[in-house]
Amino acid sequence: MSVGTEPGFACIGSWFPEPLDRLEEDRLQEVRDLIYRMVADNPSWGAPRIHDELLMLGFEVSERTVSRWMKRAPRNPEPAKRRLAFLHNHREAIAAMDFFTVPTITFGVLYCLFVIGHDRRRILHFQRYQAPGELVDCAAAAGGVSV
């Protein structure tokens, strides 16, 4: 028996895909472009819906392939630009607040309130409390919370 004619070698060739011919490559590119266009035109559609639409158009593509190509679809930069413009125009009025706990070396807990302004990234307010009830009492005294 010569090399490559044994029964074990016959199945090895089927493991590797055969190269696509030019027509198949063009059809694959057409399907990719169609998926990209559907993703851009219909942002609320998921892979199952786009897969069903492709089947109705006569394209035999698995839903997993559609999902894979959806992840690679070019994104529209317009929403990010709008968000950035909003943040730039309103940064003087935006503040971030955080309430967190800090364990102490004596196994106690401190409660901290931290407020920072976005315009100059400066600290607007910082307060620490020994117990969470102090925060409520302080806010009630300022007229912010009714107890």
User: Which residues face 126 on adjacent strands?
Assistant: 114
Residue among 132, 146, 141, 137 at smallest CA distance from 100: 132
**Has residue 104 got a pLDDT over 50?**
yes
The pTM for the full model equals 0.45
pLDDT tens-digit map of 123-138: 988 888 887 776 665 5
| Spatial contact of 101 and 110, defined as CB atoms under 8 Å apart | yes
Q: Residue 96: what residue type?
A: A
Question: Is the pLDDT at 48 greater than 90, yes or no?
Answer: yes
